[in-house]
């Protein structure tokens, strides 16, 4: 009886199983620098917060920004610092590979979290600056995407 118990005990004391952080796909990141054209003095007071947002699909309406975030169809940063010349950002992509077709710096210009969003900078093709560029993130990749925010010349908005 005692032998049986200690046999069971030996089996049990072998550590095993369950959640494993090392089994997760190797985390990929999208990171870069956001440069404010004109420096810190160029910031208008009306921009209440600023984030980098990577959308699976180009948002079709103002409220699709939040819908995409809640619906896990976008990756995004915390609020980035305002009234600075530039700042860096980093977004961990939890389930690579992943393709984002619309990468922007988004600014909230009013109290309505749902609707008051303006695109401040757009990641575009080098050859055709008005066309959104796709960001493909493979497993373990460290993708760099930089933005220039020019408050005097905002990109074409996805919605009006």
**Considering only residues 81, 85, 87, 113, which one is a binding residue for other proteins as defined by CB under 8 A?**
113
* DSSP string covering 128-154: STTSBPPEEE-TT-EEE--EEE-TTSP
CA–CA dist 81, 36 (Å, integer): 11
Considering only residues 77 to 96 of the shown chain, the ones binding other proteins according to CB under 8 A are 78, 92, 94
Based on CB atoms, which residue is closest to other proteins, 107 or 155?
A: 107
Rounded alpha-carbon distances, angstroms, from residue 136 to 61, 93, 144, 147 = 24, 11, 11, 17
Number of residues this chain uses to bind other proteins (CB under 8 A): 33
Q: Per rule CB under 8 A, is residue 152 in the interface with other proteins? A: no
Query: Which residues lie near other proteins (CB under 8 A)?
Result: 1-2, 4-5, 8-9, 12-22, 24, 27, 66-67, 69-72, 78, 92, 94, 111-115
């Amino acid at each position: 009886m005692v032998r049986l118990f200690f046999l069971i005990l030996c089996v049990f004391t072998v550590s095993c199983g369950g959640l494993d952080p090392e089994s997760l796909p190797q985390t990929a990141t999208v990171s870069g620098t956001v440069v404010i054209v004109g420096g810190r003095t160029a910031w208008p007071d009306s921009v209440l917060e600023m984030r980098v947002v990577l959308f699976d699909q180009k948002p079709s309406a103002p409220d699709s920004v939040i819908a995409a975030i809640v619906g896990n169809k976008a990756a995004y940063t915390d609020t980035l610092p305002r009234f600075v010349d530039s700042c860096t950002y980093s977004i961990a992509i939890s389930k690579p590979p992943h393709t984002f077709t619309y990468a922007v710096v988004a600014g909230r210009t009013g109290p309505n979290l749902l609707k008051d969003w303006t695109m401040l900078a757009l990641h575009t093709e080098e050859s055709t600056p008005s066309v959104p560029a796709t960001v493909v993130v493979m497993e373990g990749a460290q993708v760099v995407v930089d933005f220039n925010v020019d408050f005097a010349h905002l990109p074409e908005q996805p919605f009006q």
